[in-house]
Every structure is written in structure tokens, then in C-alpha cells.
Chain A
Amino acid sequence: MSTSSEKSSSLFGYVAEFASASDLYHAAEKVREEGFRRWDVHTPYPVHGMDHAMGLGKSWLSAVVLAGGATGTLTALLLQFFTQVSLYPTVVQSKPTNLFTIPAFFPVTFELTILLAAFATVFGLFVFIMLPRWNHPLFNSKLFSKFSDDGFIMVIEARDPKFKKEQTKDFLKEIGAGDIEEVAH
């Protein structure tokens, strides 16, 4: 197998199953220490502390959401002042509309802030995680599909600079992997 360079170029990576969240957690620490870059763990639920084990920092999705919320606030204030004060001043029950009637504009401002922040959250999330992507080489793997049930899966991709066909497989066994499957592109 390893003699065929054709095969190894079409190899996507290794899918390895671990027995429990704990095993996967400790294996992830070792993979990080080994210096791998293109790898991930796939779990049925977000494992607490896994970000730390993998050496991942804080998600900056919050910055996108802040920007979305600020856009919402600004949009709402502009919409209300522009339409109410300059375009069509509505005087109901002799109540004026001007800069000082801003308390009456709070509810709509608040709602639009939340709305645009929520849109920023969902679309920002899609951009950050590059989904929707309906097909992926990993879906070719039978072992991988256990991630959505009760499997604790680690994937090391072949394009990782540290990836070596035989050594990486041995390394996975060494850190406690059970079944290991090669996934092609």
C-alpha cells in the first residue's frame, strides 16, 4: 500500500475512533504536542475543555455579533429619525417628533439591534465554520458517521505537513485509538 504514491496522494486522512470523551481529550493533547495542524476531533456533543486540549483560543464570533448589533441600532435610529423628523413628521395627539422624542424610539431600536445581531450570529457562524457544505470526503467513511451517535472520532488529514502514512497510523495507535480507517478523497 505504502509503495503506491498514487494512493497516498488521493488519501484524505485517517479517521480514528476512541473509546470515550476522556480518551479523546488526552489523545488530543498529545496530537497538539506533536505539532499537527490539520486535524480535528468529531464528537456527538461539544466536549468541555476540548478547546484547551486542542490549543484553540476564544471564538471571535462575538466581534461579528457586536458589529451586527451596532448596525441594527444605527439602522433603527436613522430609519426613525429620517422618516419621522425629516420625511413625514407625524403629530399624533399633538405630540411632537424631534431629537428629544428619542425615548419613543427605544423599543424599535432595541428590537432591530437584537434582530441584526441574531442575523450576524447565524451568518457569521456559517462563514466561520464554512457551512453549508453538503459533501465532504469524511462522509465516505463508515466509521466517521458514528460521530453523530456515540463515537469519539479523531481525524488527521493527509495534507498536514507532519503527516506520514505509516508513522501517523502508529502514532494514533500509540495514543489509544481503536479502529482506524483510511479515507480517500
Chain B
Amino acid sequence: MAGTNSADTDVHPSEAEGVAREPLVLNNRSMGWITDRICGIVENRQPFIWWVLFVPSVCLFLCLLFTLVYLVSTGVGVWGNNQPVAWGWAIVNFVFWIGIGHAGTLISAILFLTRQKWRTSVNRASEAMTLIAVMCAGIFPGFHVGRFWMVWFLAPVPNANAIWQNFKSPLLWDVFAVSTYFTVSVIFWYIGLIPDLATLRDRATKKLPKFLYGFFSLGWRGGNRHWRHYEMAYLLLAALSTPLVLSVHSVVSFDFATSIVPGWHTTIFPPYFVAGAIFGGFAMVLTLMLPVRKLYGLEDLITAKHIDNMAKIILLTGTIVGYAYIMELFISYYGANKFESDAFHLRILSGPYTWAYYCMFFCNVIAPQVFWFKWSRHNLWMVFIIVNFVNAGMWFERFVIIPTSIARDFLPGQWGYYSPSWVEKLMFLGTFGMFFMLFLLFIRFLPVIAASEVKGVLPESDPHYPEWKRLREKRRKSTSS
């Protein structure tokens, strides 16, 4: 490492032999500081802005409840979807929220298996975001079935008609995929929470918090005889979640790809949907974490390096999505399917929704290209603006795929135009209220950063740290002399 000034910074000596890496926690923060800072968010009063965000979120959530009651009491006809566009905003919003719910498990599982230690600062919050997003997603198909109280017919249990579900249907695969994804994500999130809940239990002074955190931390004592099984459990859950997270959006894409509708019937859908989901999910993680980081003074834990890494993932996945858009167009041009080429002709040139296509293309493909430049990944306002383009763009992507394809079917006699009713619009806004309300409650009551995992990536948490340190001193002396 001669010639650079990395010897002065506190990089882990084992890493200093190759390329100097930026520290994951800045300013040499101690374990005690990390505990105080993370638990302090839960223990202290919330800043005023928490209330400024919480109250409108609750109001929007109440709007959601109102629209749901109105929908059930009146009928699903209060939505604007009808033949030929039977899958309107409801399914667009379902796929949008499910997609957002992919970043959490990606960060916690895939980045864990690939030993990306920077994940520790952001995995807890993004897993919470995942769970909340999947809850928001579940509302839409649940009510889209028309008679919500019959939703239990989706489960493979004997019912009054003695008819079993069609296990060859992608819609049933979807039920299994999404419910498994939600359950496994809850398990993964909760297993990760246990050591931090124990920290909150040991710090709690009031009776009720002590009881509740004590109850949910299951009497965790942090013994190494426990940690070794715990670590194995975490590794196994990561290994199980990795194919799971890739399967969920693949199965969601099968809802479209296995149909014969032109514009849906393409084999590129599974990888394209998965890349898009990771893309949109990371954008939402950054949308939430940039303000949280600033508001609660977590800059030493969620550093510029974290934001830089996530921006790079957004750039990569956004470019994969762009490749998929262009490949779809190319195949429709190059292939011999007349309906396919007409569907894409209508999508990009002469159809009623071409404006949505160009919104999507700009937000998802053009806008993130800014992240090639380092200054943009380090300018927080720039990052915030771009990720919000991505949030909007990913919603447009689902809108482009769903209504534009079925509004222009095989026969011109089947053609129609779809626009949402006020109920659909209010309901979508309402799910944002639910999303932010639950996320704010998560910040209020649970540790927003996985403190026990962050402590584990500090240089001094390595039991061989003193030896490494001595070795580094020796090397520094020998290079300077």
C-alpha cells in the first residue's frame, strides 16, 4: 500500500493488503455508540417531522379503508376496469408493490451470500419495507377477485363445491409464491431482529416496553452456543430466500407470459421482471433511507459508500431493464408474429398509451444513466431525484404492460380504452398512506438498523484485530524506513 495514504485511515488490515476499502462505519464509532444511536431512535421522542409525515399518512390510510368499504358494499364495478381491460390499476398496483418488495430480501439474502458487508446498515429497514410493500400489494388482487369474502377459495382446502383449485394456473402459482414470500420474509426479518430486541429489552426502563421487548426477544442471551445455531439458521434462510426472491417475480410474470395476449406472451418476462423488481425496490429503499439517515443522524452508519453502492445497483438493473425493453421491440420486429409486431407498433407509435411508454422509457432507462458519474452518486439531492424517477417509471412499466396490451387485442372489435375511476386513484394513494404509516411506526418501535450485525463488521470485532494491528504497524515502519 506504499504510495497511498491508506495507512493513515483505519481500514481493516487484512483488506489493506490488497485494495484499501472505505470503512463501513465512519469516525471510528464504538459499539456503545452504535447501540446508543440506534436504540435512541426508539427510546427518545420522535422529531416533529415524524408527526408531520405520520398524520397525513394516517389520513391517506383512512381513505384506503373508506374506498375498500365502498368497494365491498357497492361492488367491484366502482373501479374503471371492464372488458376488454379487466386488469386495470388493481393489477398494475399489485405488481408495482410486489416489485418494491424485492429489494429487502435481495439485500438480506443475496448480498449476505455474496459477503457484501455493507448490507448490514440497510438490511433491516429494507426488509421492513419489503413486508409493508407486500401487504400493500396483497390488497389489490384480494379485492380484484370481486367478492372479497370468497378469497379463501384460493387456498387448497375442500370447499362446498367440491372443486379443487387448478394447480396448472399461474394465478394459483402466484398465490403460493406471494404468500410463501411474505411468510419467509417475516421469518427472516424476525430472526434478524431477535438480538436487537434483546438490546432494547436490556436498556428499557419502563415496565411495558421491558415486557414487550422481553417477550419478543424470546429470552435471547447471546451465548456462542446459541450464536452458532443462529448463524447457521441465518445462512440457511439466506440460501432459501435467494431462489425464492428470484422465483416470486418470475411467477408474477408468468401471469402474463403464459397467456396468449400479444405483448404479454414473451419468454423474456421472468428475468426482465426480476431485474425490474430489484431496480424499483432499491429506488424505494433509497427514497426511504435518505431522509431517515439525515433525520436521525445515521450518516456514520449509512455512509456515502452505501448510497454509492445502491446507486450502482440501480444503474446496473436499470440498464438490464432497458436491454429488455429494446429486446422486446427487436423480437417483435424480427419475429414472424403479426400480432406481436402490431402490439408493439401500437405500444410505441400509434396506440392510445404511447405517452406512458415514453414516460416509462425516460424514467427507467435514460434517467438512471446519470449514475455512471461519481458526482451524481455522491450528490444526495441528485440521487433522491433520480430514484423518484425510477419509482414513477416502474409504475409506468406495469401500466404499459397491462392495459396497453389488453386494450388492443386480436380483433379491432375487442378494442377499448381504459381509464381509472376516482376509487382506484384514491385507493392507490391510500396504499401509499399505509406504506408510510407502517414504515414510520416501524422506525418508532423497532431498531431501524441491525445493530448486532453492524457491530460485527467493525474492525475491532475480529478476534485477531490486535495481531493485525501489530502487523500493520510493522509494515508501516518497514515501508517508511
Selected from A62, A65, A69, A149, the residue in CB contact (under 8 A) with B199 is A149
A63 → chain B, closest Cβ, in Å? 10
**Other-chain residue from B166, B224, B461 in contact with A41 (beta carbon distance below 8 A):** B224
Q: A45-B456, A46-B456, A56-B225 are in contact. Are A118 and B219 (CB under 8 A)?
A: no
Is A128 close to B, CB under 8 A?
yes
Say whether chain A's binding surface is mostly helix, strand, loop, or mixed: helix
Q: Decide if B104 is an interface residue (CB 8 Å cutoff).
A: no
Q: A44-B452, A110-B247 known; A135 and B219 CB under 8 Å?
A: yes
Interface centre among A46, A59, A90, A112 (most CB of B within 10 A): A46
Contact with B along A21-45 (1 / 0, CB 8 A): 1101110100000000000111111
Q: Would you call the interface of chain B mostly helix, strand, loop, or mixed?
A: helix
Inter-subunit contact B461/A84 (CB<8 Å) = no
**A20, B164: Cα distance in complex, Å:** 60
Give the complex CA separation of A46 and B225 in angstroms: 10
Other A-B pairs, 12, CB within 8 Å; known A22-B463, A121-B240:
A25-B463, A28-B224, A44-B31, A44-B195, A46-B456, A48-B456, A49-B463, A54-B225, A111-B176, A114-B243, A121-B233, A148-B195
Interface residue ranges of B156-195 to A (CB < 8 Å)? 156, 162-170, 172-173, 176-177, 180, 183-184, 187-188, 190-191, 195
**A100: B residues at CB distance < 8 A:** none
State A128–B232 Cα separation when bound (angstroms).
11
B43: chain A residues at CB < 8 Å are: none
Contacts of B188 in A (CB 8 A): 118
Tell me the complex Cα distance, A44–B240, Å: 26
Residues of B within 8 A of A136 (CB): 219, 221
CB of B187 within 8 A of CB of A121, answer yes
| Chain B residues within CB distance 8 Å of chain A | 30-32, 35, 156, 162-170, 172-173, 176-177, 180, 183-184, 187-188, 190-191, 195, 198-199, 201-203, 214-215, 218-233, 236-237, 240-241, 243-244, 247, 251, 254, 451-453, 455-456, 460-467
Please indicate which of the listed interface residues A22, A59, A118, A149 has the most CB atoms of chain B within 10 Å of its own CB. Answer: A118
Q: Which residue of B lies closest to A115 (CB)?
A: B180
Considering the chains assembled together, what is the distance between the CA atoms of A132 and B241 in angstroms? 24
How many cross-chain pairs have Cβ atoms below 8 Å apart between A and B? Answer: 217
Whether the Cβ atoms of B180 and A59 lie closer than 8 Å is no
Alpha-carbon gap, A48 to B30, bound state (A) = 18
Q: Which of A107-135 contact B (CB under 8 A)?
A: 107-108, 110-112, 114-115, 117-119, 121-122, 124-126, 128-129, 131-135
Q: Given A83-B167, A150-B32, decide whether A108 and B237 contact each other with a Cβ distance below 8 A.
A: no
With a cutoff of 8 Å between Cβ atoms, the chain B residues found around residue A149 in the complex are 31-32, 35, 199, 202-203
A1 within 8 A of B: no
